[in-house]
Each structure stands twice: as C-alpha cells, then as structure tokens.
C-alpha cells in the first residue's frame, strides 16, 4: 500500500452502491478497501464479515483485519453503505424476523464503521452512514426498516457531538436516499418513474467531494437526496 495514496474503506462494498463507489474512487487513484459478506474484485483489500457471528464477534474480527490491512496508516474516509430492505407492520408474520434483519444490516454495520473511524480515521476525515428519508416519519408498512434507519440517524447526531469519540475535526454525515437507481430496484419496479431515482454515480461523485472537503455539510447532517426529473438536490433534514 502506497503511503501517499488517499485511502478509503467502503463498508458494504459488494452491494450496488458500494460497488459503484469503489469503481469511482479506484478511477481516481484511491486505495480502496471493502468490507462485506463477499469479495469485491476491484478493491485493493477485502475484509469478509461472517454473517452468523455475533455483533461483538464481528467487531473483534473486523477491527483486527482492518488494523492488519492498514498497518499503521490512516483513512481519509469510511463510507458505510451496507443495508437492505424488508417490510411489514406489527401484525406481519415476519415482523420480528424482518426487524432483526434490518437491525443487523443497518445498525450493526453503522456502529462497526463508527468503531473503525474512532481508531483509523485521519483528523479531519469523513465518516458517512446510510439512513433513509422515510424514517424521518412513521413507516407503518416497514416498521423494522424505519426503526433501524432512525437509529442510524440518532447515531449520527451522537457521533457529531463534541465528545462523540471521532478524531479531531472529522465529519460524520448520513445520506437519506428515497430510491437509488440500482439494477435490483429496476428489476422489481420496472414501471416506476425512474426520473425520481438517484443515480449511483451521483452519490459516488458527491462522496468524493465530501472526502476532499468540498461542499461538505456540517458534521451531524442528515442529507436528503431528492431527485426529480433526473436532477438531484441535497436538502439537510
């Protein structure tokens, strides 16, 4: 690993958004590490998470592997885009099962990314997490999802506080997408208005700017990604 190259880790680097981010940053000559359940072949290093391990077991394994890969060097940014979606209200047969899955996919990953940031992020560096615009209000048709994303929103505010545990002058920002333009979303919603979906390349370019301290919102911001007629604007909640 070159000591001069800018370095980031993408938590959730095998998913659609994570893969797009890795591709974008690699094209800009960043060193990029990926954390996920499976390898991303474009990444410079891959750290695999054992899906059946407990939260604390994941913490131990991930932190050990990150420390080995970095070998004393620090990160310019940690971009956590891990997550998923599952629906259901309180009467749904899989209500608790889906809520548990959403907690693991969104909250576990966000907390672990925050732990990595506390140990390996540069002063003035960037941590991004992934919330959701619908979770600013009630989400009766997807309670587990909304609950988990709301927890990520709260985590953001706590980390941004003066004694949140992140390095000096670092920023934590959480993106709140509505719908991302992913292959899976197009598959399951082929008749939707795709002009209201946020392109993955837009998100990747935005994160590169933030990593370089360009147009970076205030730390603790919940940044809504609002796309209409193919044009995306950023609105802090």
Q: Which two tokens stand for residue 75?
A: 């990160």
DSSP state of 123: E
The answer to whether the beta carbons of residues 58 and 35 sit under 8 Å apart is no
C-alpha 14/C-alpha 189 separation (Å) is 22
By the 8 A CB rule, do 126 and 113 touch? no
Q: What is the rounded CA–CA span in Å between residue 120 and residue 66?
A: 9
Is 45 in a helix, a strand, or coil?
Answer: strand
Which is catalytic among the residues 11, 30, 145, 202? Answer: 145
Is 145 among the residues known to form the active site?
yes
CB 110 within 8 A of CB 35: no
90: helix, strand or coil: coil
Q: What is the DSSP string of 140-204?
A: TTBHHHHHHHHHHHHHHHHHHSTTSSPPTT-EEEEEEES-EE-HHHHHH-TTS-GGGSEEHHHHH
Which residues are catalytic, by number?
145
């Amino acid at each position: 690993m070159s000591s001069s190259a800018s370095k980031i880790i993408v938590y959730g680097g095998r998913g659609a958004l994570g893969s797009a981010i890795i591709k974008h940053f690699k094209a800009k000559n960043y060193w990029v590490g990926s954390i996920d359940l499976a390898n991303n072949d474009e990444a410079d290093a891959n750290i695999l998470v054992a899906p059946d391990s407990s939260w604390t077991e994941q913490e131990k394994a991930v932190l050990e592997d990150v420390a080995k890969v970095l070998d004393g060097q620090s990160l310019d940014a940690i971009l956590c885009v891990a997550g998923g979606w599952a629906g259901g209200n309180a009467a749904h047969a899989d209500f608790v099962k889906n809520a548990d899955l959403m907690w693991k996919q969104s909250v576990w990953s966000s907390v672990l990314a925050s732990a990595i940031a506390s140990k390996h992020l540069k002063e003035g560096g960037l941590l991004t997490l992934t919330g959701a615009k619908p979770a600013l209000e009630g989400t009766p048709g997807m309670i587990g999802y909304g609950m988990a994303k709301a927890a990520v929103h709260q985590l953001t505010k706590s980390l941004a506080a003066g004694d949140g545990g992140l390095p000096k002058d670092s920023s934590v920002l959480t993106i709140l997408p509505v719908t991302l333009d992913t292959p899976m979303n197009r598959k399951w919603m082929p008749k939707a208005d795709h002009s209201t979906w946020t392109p993955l390349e837009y998100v990747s370019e935005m994160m590169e700017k933030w990593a370089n301290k360009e147009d970076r919102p205030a730390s603790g911001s919940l940044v809504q990604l609002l796309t209409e007629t193919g044009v995306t604007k950023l609105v802090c909640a």
